[in-house]
Every structure is written in C-alpha cells, then in structure tokens.
Structure 1
Amino acid sequence: MLLEDESNAVVKSADRVLDVIELLARWGREMSHTEIAEALDIPKSSLTKLLKNLTARGFVEFVPVTKGYRLGEALIRLSQQSTHSRSLVSCAQPVLAEITQQTLESCALNQIKGDQVAVVATVTSPQRLVSHLRLGDLAPLYAVSGGKVILAFLPDQMRSEYIKTVKMQAITPKTITSKKALLAQIETIRQTGVAYSMDEYTPGIVGVGVPVLSSSGFPLGSLNVAIPSVRFSERVGARAVAVLQASAERVRRDYIAANEHTR
C-alpha cells in the first residue's frame, strides 16, 4: 500500500505528464527541454525523467535537428480528448456571449499556433458597424491585441526565441515593425495585463486583449474585443478592460476546476 506522501507524488507525476502533453499540443512546434521546464515550472531533473518515459512510450518524440520535443505517434492511436474533459473553448463560449452583451462589441478567444495566434471561438457584435473576428483566422502575434498579450506572458526563453526569429512586416501603416518597440510594449503589457492594437492589423479597429493564464502563469489563450475606432474612447477602453479581465478570470477558474476534476 502506498503511503500518503508516495501517493501524492504519483498523482503529481501524472499531472505533470498531462501538462507536458497539453503544452506541446498548444504550442504547435518542437519545444526545448528548457522551454518546457519554464512553461510548466517543473524542475529540470524531474522533467528529464518524464520526457524519457514519454519518449520511450512514443507519446513524445525528440527531434535531433531542433533538439526539441513534439507529440509522438502514440497519441494518434488514442482518442483526441476524454468526453468528460472540458476544453478551453467550451469554458469560454458562454463567457464570450456575455462579453458581447456587456460591451456590444465583437469578441474572441484566441490561442497560439506556432508563431501566430488563431481565433478559436468568437461572438459578433449586434451593431451595424462591426468588426468580424472569424473562426480560424490567423494573425501575427506582434500585430493584434490577443497575440501581443499571449506573447508577453510566454516563458522568457520562448518569448526571446520568438523575438529573435520573427520577421516583422507592416500590415497597416500603424503596424509596429521595430523589435525594440515591441519589447517596450511587452514590458508594459506584463505590468498592466492588457494589450492594445491601435489600427495595427485592421484599419479602423482598436483591439483590446487580456490573457487567460494557467495556474503556473502560462498563457492558455487570450480574450479580446475589436472596437471600431469611431466608437473607441478612454472610457470605452476602460470598460472593455474591466469586462475582459473579469471574464478571463472566470474562464481560467472554470477551466482549471473542470480539468482538475476529470483527472
């Protein structure tokens, strides 16, 4: 019979295995040992053992060229998700509807996909002048509020790697194309917890975004609203921030509670 401390250690190890798999699925590319350790706040020695076991079972593969890890073939043979597990999208969908009810603006849940951000759930504003955030739309992390705020809260090494390799291109005349300017914005976003895109991706649209953070502080995704510039003001922006931050906390809490319950 396992002692209580031993039992707790086994449960913690199982949680970490699931955390590694979920992280690799979200990130969408190979991740180094250090990146995984930072993202999940796992001691490197413990992570080495986990990755060794996962690799041996085929759930994770080591890629020599990039010296990174990715999901393995064994996962393909398993069901994509337990029917009892709630995804971030299912937790966020009713909250998105409430965001639009409160702000009267289009809103979205976004998640990182490689070096871009994708709209994974959205609700459209009922107003005549509206910005359409279409399901599946991809945008550069540096150009939209939902992407910037995810970028700001990535672990240091992941963020540094992105900054080092990204090729910043002007999408509109107001798109930030300087890495120095982006780093300055990231510092502000980390302090305030809010990101803005002022006509930087779509002319005439102001984006306001906040992160949805895991219990370890990793950005599971982001919530944002898209406000036509003619309707945007300091008061409107402050209202949007308040609604988004309360909504992000609700999604975070529901997601963590639901998935801890099913483990």
Structure 2
Amino acid sequence: MPSVRDRALSILDLLAHHPPELPLAEIADRLDIPRAAAHRVLADLKETGYVRQDRDGGPYRLTAKIVTLAFAYLVGNGIPDVAQPVLDRLAEATGELVRLAVVDGDQLTWVAKAQGKQHGLRVDPDDGAEVYLVATANGQAWLSCMDDDAALAIAVRQGIRREGYGPGAPRSMAELLHALQRARCNGFAMVVDAYEAGTSAVAVPILRKGGVVGTVSVAGPTIRLTEARMEGIAPILQEAAAELSLLAAGSPLFTTAKR
C-alpha cells in the first residue's frame, strides 16, 4: 500500500501537470486512491500550505509554495547566477525565447529562460517543468546523443503518440529516429510546427565530461524562425552551450545529472 508520503507526492505531481485545479473525486480516481484517504492527504497538504481550496468542497490547486521551493532549489544550485547571463546574451543576440533544460534521470527539466522579443509576435510557453522529448528541439537534441535503442526506450516511456501537438511532431518511432539522425549529422536539433503549430525551435546539447548535462534552445514563431535562420543561429547556440558546459562545474544541479 502506498505511504502517505507517496500519495502526497503523487497528488502534487498530478496537480502540477493538470492546472489549474481538480476536484477531490477526480484526484482520487486518477491516482487510484480511496477518496477518504485522498481527502486526508489533501487536508494535510492544505494545512502545510502546498494546496488550497477557494471554497469548502471545491477543487484543489497548488499554491505558490511549490514555486518558492523550486526557485530556492535553483538558487541554491547556482542556476540563476551561473546560467542566466548566458541566456540573456543569447536572447538579446537572437531576439527570441531562449530556454535551458537539465538532465534529471530519464527526463529533461526546464530550469531557466530569457525572452529576447519584447514586442510583437513572440513565443513564451508556460507548460510545466518536464520537457516533452519527442516534439521539442531540446528533447531531440538530448536523445540524439544516445544510441537508437536507448533514445527510443526513454521516448516510449514518456509517450510518442501524444495528442495536442503540432503537425510536425514525430508520430512514430521511424519518424523520431529520422529526426534524431538529422540532429546527429547537423550537431543540433530543429523542429518546425512540432510542439505547436506556428512555432519552431533549434537546440543543442550541453556536454560535460563525455556526457550530456542539459540542453539550450532558441524558439520563436515559424514565420520568423525559418530553417535557414535556425541554421544561422546554431553556431552561436553552440558557443553558448560550450560556455554553459564550463560554468556547469560550479553547479551541483549539473554535476549530479545523469547521462
């Protein structure tokens, strides 16, 4: 039987990936937890300030306490001080959204970003912490550093045929392997209309001591961020990745990353 701690973590994870709020019955059903037990755990999470209800019997949502903890963790690991200046310069040079992700076991996690486009059409997603590997340039850049079997195993665990993504997203193992081979040949990954229609991105891996510790990307509207422009951006993106690789030595978040 799952412990109270395990159930609490499962509930927090569920609420983080299904904003903005969920009722008790749906939380219990999704996690296969008895409703009485789910109610007890949610009561504890309310008391400790991690979730809230706007009214008695109403749906539950996360509070800002989770964000505060996440930011404190990033600060403690040096991410803002180490990475942000590099991301800011890259965003200024490209005029587009720059995002940094770090390897965390068998997934990538977004940890920082910089927005270069202050006016007009821009991309600025707010889509949670975990990177969807198949449909993002960051995900493909990371997977391209593995052999095909390892890359497919991770992608399959996360899901390849997810709904709600753009027409350019790989829909099969063969399409994904083709994209990864292209990324290996180029030294960078590009996606067009993949994460969502109308957006494109280019990403490179951040390598350290023979392994991948993260990825950095530039994303923007497809009408502006064409394949030709992404190919032109790739060299300065690779320079930023090399700088981040050197700086990563001072951050435990990077040094403990796997792969």
CA distance in 2, matches of 1:82, 1:226: 25
**Distance between the aligned counterparts of 1:132 and 1:87, measured in 2?**
23
Which segments of 5 or more consecutive residues in structure 1 lack a partner in the other structure? 1-79
- Mapping of residues 8-27 of structure 1, within 5 Å: none
CA distance in 2, matches of 1:172, 1:160: 20
Q: 1:253 is matched with which residue?
A: 246
Q: Does 1:96 align with 2:96?
A: no
In the other structure, the counterpart of 1:66 is none
For residues 255 and 164 of structure 1, what CA distance do their matches in structure 2 show? 29
Report the AA paired with residue 205 of structure 1.
T
| Counterpart selection for 2:232 from 217, 226, 239 | 239
| Code of the aligned partner of 1:227 | G
Per the alignment, residue 121 of structure 1 pairs with: 112
- Distance in structure 2 (CA, Å) of the matches to 1:156 and 1:232: 28
Change (3 A) 1:244 1:221: same
- Over residues 180-222 of structure 1, what are the superposed CA-to-partner deviations in whole Å (9 max), with x where a residue is unaligned? 1111211221222211111111211001101101112x21110
CA apart distance, 1:156? 6.3
TM-score when normalising by structure 2: 0.60
Rounded Cα–Cα distance in structure 2 between residues aligned with 1:165 and 1:128: 38
Q: Structure 1 length as normaliser, TM-score?
A: 0.59
Deviation at 1:166, TM superposition (A): 4.6
Matches within 5 A, 1:1-263: 87=78, 90-113=81-104, 116-124=107-115, 125-134=117-126, 136-154=128-146, 158-163=150-155, 165-169=157-161, 170=163, 171-216=165-210, 218-256=211-249
Taking only aligned residues, the RMSD between alpha carbons, in angstroms, comes to 2.9
Gap runs ≥5 in structure 2: 1-72
After TM superposition, give the deviation of residue 81 of structure 1 in Å.
9.9
Deviation at 1:120, TM superposition (A): 0.7
Q: Secondary structure at the match of 1:246?
A: helix
State the distance in 1 between where 2:251 and 2:237 align: 21
Per the alignment, do residues 82 and 246 of structure 1 end up closer, same or farther by CA in structure 2, a change over 3 Å counting?
Answer: closer
State the partner residue of 2:64: none
Change (3 A) 1:128 1:255: same
| Contact kept? 1:145, 1:209, Cα under 8 Å | yes
Return structure 1 stretches of 4+ with deviation > 6 angstroms: 80-83
Task: Rate the CA distance shift 1:174–1:192 in 2: closer, same or farther, 3 A.
Answer: closer
The amino acid of 2:123's aligned partner reads: S
| Paired residues of 1:204 and 1:228 also in contact (CA < 8 A) | yes
Deviations 1:134-188, CA, capped at 9 Å, x for gaps: 4844332011001111111146664242245453124223221110111121122
The aligned length equals 178
| Percent sequence identity over aligned pairs | 25
- The match for 2:36 is none
What SS does the corresponding residue of 1:232 show, helix, strand or coil? coil
Q: Contact 1:111 / 1:117 at 8 angstroms: preserved in 2?
A: yes
Higher alpha-carbon deviation: 175-184 or 230-239: 230-239
In structure 1, distance between residues paired with 2:75 and 2:123: 35
Rounded to whole Å, the distance in 1 between the matches of 2:251 and 2:109 is 23
Contact kept? 1:141, 1:147, Cα under 8 Å: yes
Say if 1:144 and 1:200, in contact at 8 Å, map to a contact too. yes
